[in-house]
């Protein structure tokens, strides 16, 4: 079988029609979520559907502050982030509300992936191949999940831009004309500006281009030019400098062709030296270390903190079937795509430049599912090629077209089913946002709201306040105080809340905002956090003077991750090998009353007659039983019974239809006491907002 397909003769109008059809297809698939979810009133705010990714609120905060022209010092607002700048600019020219704009931007921009894929196919003389690949890649599980309507994040261009870079590289390799060099630098520079983490991908593309040249055409001067303009694009310099340098060198090549050969290697050497002088491969090692070497602890000033990477699902190992489905929608489609990709690379050697995306996508097996998105486009090309290769023997063009359409539809169908089932909710509900909106009205921009890092960005966006931790600032050393505040009794929680806020602000001045625990221990001459608490309780006047108000934000949804929250402070900071036995916490809504027992799932049950818990084969006394619920006037009612001096505590949250089984550690934690029971120490806190979904307390010390 001849591996190279017969070249297609397709005019520009047809190519544009293919692009339009593929783009509208990708866009329409992203509207399914809107149609299925638009009837849920709790997902709306300001008459618009809310976004469905936490990180989106980070960039939305930056765009909001750009438009308002003001923000607070050290509030970490991303006013210089490309996506925030783009959003603010679009907000000025597109006549829709800000909420509507950030909702639909991912769908409209993410669907642009079809353009470079179709153009890459056309460059190879296979526009149909590019069209089929565009359809599949645009809705592949992994790519759809991160560019769906409402997924307002940098991912909307994180794959589109490198594909455009690959398209221009393919043009330059195929046609070997200088005019394609400037677009290479521009797309690489734009990609690195948009997504700084792309430095590794860009460098890999550079290495691939150089390897391709050395292996297949080492005497081809033009291929070295391509590598040179890639290097310029990825230099760690401002984008305007890179484009200026590229234009200057291009002009030199264009207007002084006789000097091209004479001075080229001198220019190449200078640019290569600048590449290493401005970073080289150091940033790449940092990224590899973060994803591939995931220690359970991170060190800071001889203190050992719990590493957040251990709790992030996107950074964990994934099964092969999940890996395959994320890339191609179905395991069979993925395997066919792999075969097709190998054959396509053999038939069209320039496609070797896509190998870095394949490699990065495939390391997802060990580095986490987020990387699968990179392999989507190359595998889509592989599947499209194999399909066209198999059907090329069908002589009748109309029949061949029908067969291609049928098998393309079969490959698309699992991805469509995924889209129909992937009804991800908005980050918060209307009721929760209403509480944050009220909090924003009673606080000011210099105040701090303490909660877990998952909720940091939405809190900052809707309440316009500062937070200790968020989706980008959540290393172990800053997560420790947040975890400690939520899981410790109220006295310790209040002390740590005041200390952590004041030391965080102080840290901005000394560039030690991520070393607040070590700074506390040093200043108070304490050997441990326990010593620190004892010292301050004996001498309350030693607490820093308040410079701003501090609030605790306690949402119901935190209960689902509360054991994970605990991990970050329930440890020995000086001796990580000394791992204390984790406290007991179990929550369930799987409840079955059999008369004699209450079955709670996971082999846990309450034996009513004996007032004991059966956990597996172990029988544990019920120390206390608490029934907590809201009456018709939405006032919290608590009924409690005590059965033993030791054992587990059972909390039945009747209004939520869930049981909690907790030991004394969790029962006495600030979160359980203040959220579940509305119990608070009036000397330390005062309630400012309270509803069944979230509660907010103001610190009084």
End-to-end CA distance of the chain: 79
What is the Cα–Cα distance from 618 to 613, expressed in whole angstroms?
8
Asked whether the predicted pLDDT for residue 681 surpasses 80, the reply is: yes
**Per-residue pLDDT tens digits for 598-627:** 999 999 999 988 889 999 999 999 999 999
Residue 268 DSSP one-character state: H
Report the pLDDT value the prediction gives residue 252, as an integer from 0 to 100.
80
Helices then strands, counting H and E runs in the chain, come out as: 31, 18
Report the pLDDT value the prediction gives residue 23, as an integer from 0 to 100.
98
Helix (H, G, I), strand (E, B) or coil at 555: strand
What is the Cα–Cα distance from 206 to 233, expressed in whole angstroms?
10
Q: Write out the two tokens for 686.
A: 């005062």
Check if the beta carbon of residue 106 is closer than 8 Å to that of residue 59.
no
Residue 679 DSSP one-character state: -
Check if the beta carbon of residue 364 is closer than 8 Å to that of residue 372.
yes
H or E stretch covering 664: helix 664-667
**Per-residue pLDDT tens digits for 654-668:** 999 999 999 999 999
- Give me the CATH topology for the region 430-567: Pyruvate Kinase; Chain: A, domain 1 (3.40.1380)
Q: What is the 3-state secondary structure (H, E, C) of 77-105?
A: CCCCCHHHHHHHHHHHHCCCCHHHHHHHH
What is the Cα–Cα distance from 446 to 550, expressed in whole angstroms?
9
Residues 463-476, mean pLDDT to the nearest whole number:
91
Residue 482 DSSP one-character state: H
**Per-residue pLDDT tens digits for 16-56:** 999 999 999 999 999 999 999 998 999 999 999 999 999 99
pLDDT-derived band at 491 (thresholds 50, 70, 90) equals: very high
pLDDT-derived band at 199 (thresholds 50, 70, 90) equals: confident
Helix (H, G, I), strand (E, B) or coil at 467: strand
Average pLDDT over the chain, rounded to whole? Answer: 91
Which residues lie below 8 Å from residue 440, measured CB to CB, with a gap of 6+?
462, 463, 464, 465
Q: Write out the two tokens for 390.
A: 């198999």
Angle at 55 between CA 53 and CA 61, to 5 degrees: 115
Report the pLDDT value the prediction gives residue 73, as an integer from 0 to 100.
87
pLDDT-derived band at 287 (thresholds 50, 70, 90) equals: low
Residues 534-551, mean pLDDT to the nearest whole number:
93
| More confident call, 649 vs 267 | 649
What is the Cα–Cα distance from 671 to 681, expressed in whole angstroms?
13
Report the pLDDT value the prediction gives residue 301, as an integer from 0 to 100.
56
Residue 596 DSSP one-character state: S
**Which is nearest to 187 in space by CA: 131, 133, 246?**
246
**Which is nearest to 499 in space by CA: 547, 463, 558?**
547
Residues 224-244, mean pLDDT to the nearest whole number:
92
| φ, ψ of residue 176 in degrees (nearest 5) | 50, 55
- Give the position of tokens 């979520």: 33
Q: Write out the two tokens for 258.
A: 């006789």
Report the pLDDT value the prediction gives residue 290, as an integer from 0 to 100.
53
Report the pLDDT value the prediction gives residue 618, as an integer from 0 to 100.
92
Distances in whole angstroms, Cα of residue 97 to Cα of each of 30, 67, 105, 491: 20, 13, 12, 44
Q: Write out the two tokens for 518.
A: 């070590």
Query: Per-domain residue ranges for the chain?
Result: 12-421, 430-567, 585-699
Asked whether the predicted pLDDT for residue 283 surpasses 80, the reply is: no
What is the Cα–Cα distance from 419 to 140, expressed in whole angstroms?
9
Asked whether the predicted pLDDT for residue 261 surpasses 90, the reply is: no
Asked whether the predicted pLDDT for residue 269 surpasses 90, the reply is: no
The percent of residues above 90 in pLDDT, for the chain, comes to 75
What is the Cα–Cα distance from 648 to 653, expressed in whole angstroms?
16
Residues 134-162, mean pLDDT to the nearest whole number:
97
**Per-residue pLDDT tens digits for 576-602:** 778 788 999 999 999 999 988 999 999
**Which is nearest to 655 in space by CA: 680, 626, 692?**
692
Check if the beta carbon of residue 613 is closer than 8 Å to that of residue 650.
yes
What is the Cα–Cα distance from 459 to 437, expressed in whole angstroms?
9
Distances in whole angstroms, Cα of residue 263 to Cα of each of 181, 251, 565: 17, 13, 60
The secondary structure of 214-258 as a DSSP string is: HHH-TT-HHHHHHHHHHHHHHSSS-HHHHHHHHHHHHHHHHH-HH
**Per-residue pLDDT tens digits for 357-393:** 999 999 888 777 889 999 999 999 999 999 999 999 8
Paired with 641 in beta bridges are: 625
Residues 404-419, mean pLDDT to the nearest whole number:
97
Length of the chain: 701
**Per-residue pLDDT tens digits for 685-694:** 999 999 999 9
Residues 228-241, mean pLDDT to the nearest whole number:
92
Helix (H, G, I), strand (E, B) or coil at 641: strand
| More confident call, 281 vs 437 | 437
Chain-centroid distance of CA 392 in Å reads: 42
H or E stretch covering 403: helix 397-421
Helix (H, G, I), strand (E, B) or coil at 449: strand
Asked whether the predicted pLDDT for residue 300 surpasses 60, the reply is: no
Q: Enter the pTM of the model.
A: 0.91
Asked whether the predicted pLDDT for residue 494 surpasses 70, the reply is: yes
Residues 88-111, mean pLDDT to the nearest whole number:
97
What is the Cα–Cα distance from 152 to 312, expressed in whole angstroms?
19
The percent of residues above 70 in pLDDT, for the chain, comes to 94
**Per-residue pLDDT tens digits for 321-344:** 999 999 999 999 999 999 999 999
Report the pLDDT value the prediction gives residue 264, as an integer from 0 to 100.
81
Which residues lie below 8 Å from residue 107, measured CB to CB, with a gap of 6+?
27, 30, 31, 147, 148, 149
pLDDT-derived band at 164 (thresholds 50, 70, 90) equals: very high
**Per-residue pLDDT tens digits for 433-468:** 999 999 999 999 999 999 999 999 999 999 999 999
Q: Around Cβ 48, how many Cβ atoms within 10 Å?
A: 17
Asked whether the predicted pLDDT for residue 558 surpasses 60, the reply is: yes
What is the Cα–Cα distance from 668 to 692, expressed in whole angstroms?
20
What is the Cα–Cα distance from 472 to 31, expressed in whole angstroms?
29
């Amino acid at each position: 079988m001849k591996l190279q397909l017969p070249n297609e003769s397709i005019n520009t109008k047809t190519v544009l029609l293919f692009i339009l059809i593929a783009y509208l297809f990708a866009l329409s698939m992203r509207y399914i979520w809107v149609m299925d979810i638009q009837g849920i009133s709790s997902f709306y705010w300001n008459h618009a559907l809310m976004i469905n990714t936490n990180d989106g609120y980070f960039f939305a905060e930056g765009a909001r502050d750009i438009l308002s022209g003001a923000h607070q010092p050290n509030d970490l607002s991303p006013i210089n982030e490309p996506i925030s700048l783009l959003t603010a600019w679009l907000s000025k020219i597109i006549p829709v509300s800000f909420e509507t704009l950030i909702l639909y931007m991912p769908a409209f921009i993410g669907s642009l992936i079809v353009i470079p894929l179709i153009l890459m196919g056309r460059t190879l003389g296979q526009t149909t191949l590019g069209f089929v690949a565009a359809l599949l890649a645009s809705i592949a599980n992994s790519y759809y999940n991160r560019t769906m309507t409402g997924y307002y994040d940098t991912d909307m261009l994180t794959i589109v831009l490198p594909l455009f870079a690959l398209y221009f590289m393919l043009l330059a390799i195929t046609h070997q004309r200088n005019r394609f060099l400037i677009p290479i630098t521009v797309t690489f520079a734009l990609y690195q500006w948009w997504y700084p983490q792309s430095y590794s991908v860009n460098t890999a593309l550079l290495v691939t281009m150089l390897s391709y040249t050395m292996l297949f055409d080492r005497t081809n001067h033009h291929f070295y030019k391509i590598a040179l303009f890639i290097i310029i694009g990825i230099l760690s310099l401002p984008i305007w400098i890179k484009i200026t340098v590229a234009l200057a060198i291009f002009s030199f090549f264009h207007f002084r062709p006789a000097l091209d050969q004479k001075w080229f290697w001198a220019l190449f050497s200078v640019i290569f030296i600048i590449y290493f002088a401005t970073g080289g491969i150091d940033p790449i090692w940092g990224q590899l270390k973060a994803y591939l070497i995931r220690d359970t602890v991170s060190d800071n000033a001889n203190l050992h903190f719990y590493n957040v990477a251990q709790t992030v699902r996107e950074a964990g190992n994934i099964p092969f079937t999940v890996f395959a489905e994320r890339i191609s929608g179905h395991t069979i489609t993925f395997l066919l795509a792999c075969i097709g990709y190998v054959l396509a690379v053999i038939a069209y050697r320039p496609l070797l430049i896509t190998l870095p995306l394949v490699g990065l996508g495939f390391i997802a097996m060990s580095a986490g599912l987020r990387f699968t998105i990179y392999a989507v486009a190359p595998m889509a090309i592989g599947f499209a090629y194999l399909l066209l290769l198999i059907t090329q023997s069908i002589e009748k063009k109309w029949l061949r077209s029908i067969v291609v359409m049928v098998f393309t539809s079969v490959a698309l169908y699992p991805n469509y089913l995924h889209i129909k089932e992937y009804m991800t909710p908005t980050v918060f509900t209307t009721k929760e946002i209403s509480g944050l909106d009220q909090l924003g009205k009673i606080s000011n921009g210099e105040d701090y709201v303490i909660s877990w890092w998952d909720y940091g960005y939405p809190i900052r966006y809707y309440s316009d306040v500062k937070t200790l931790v968020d989706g980008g600032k959540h290393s172990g050393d800053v997560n420790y105080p947040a975890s400690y505040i939520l899981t410790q009794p109220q006295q310790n929680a209040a002390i740590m809340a005041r200390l952590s806020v004041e030391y965080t602000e102080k840290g901005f001045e000394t560039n030690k905002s991520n070393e607040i625990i070590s700074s506390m221990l040093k200043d108070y001459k304490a050997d441990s956090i326990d010593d620190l608490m004892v010292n301050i309780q004996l001498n309350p006047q030693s607490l820093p003077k308040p410079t701003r108000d501090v609030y605790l934000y306690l949402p119901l949804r935190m209960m689902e991750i509360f054991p994970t929250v605990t991990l970050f402070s329930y440890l020995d900071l000086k001796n990580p090998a000394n791992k204390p036995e984790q406290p007991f916490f179990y929550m369930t809504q799987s409840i079955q009353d059999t008369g004699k027992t209450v079955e709670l799932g996971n082999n846990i049950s309450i034996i009513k007659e004996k007032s004991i818990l059966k956990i597996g084969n172990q029988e544990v006394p019920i120390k206390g039983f608490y029934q907590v619920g809201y009456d018709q006037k939405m006032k919290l009612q608590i009924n409690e019974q005590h059965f033993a001096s030791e054992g587990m505590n059972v909390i039945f949250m009747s209004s939520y239809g869930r049981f909690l089984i907790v030991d004394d550690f969790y029962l006495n934690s600030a979160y359980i006491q203040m959220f579940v029971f509305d119990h608070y120490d009036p000397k330390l806190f005062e309630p400012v907002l309270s509803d069944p979904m979230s509660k907010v307390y103001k610190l009084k010390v």
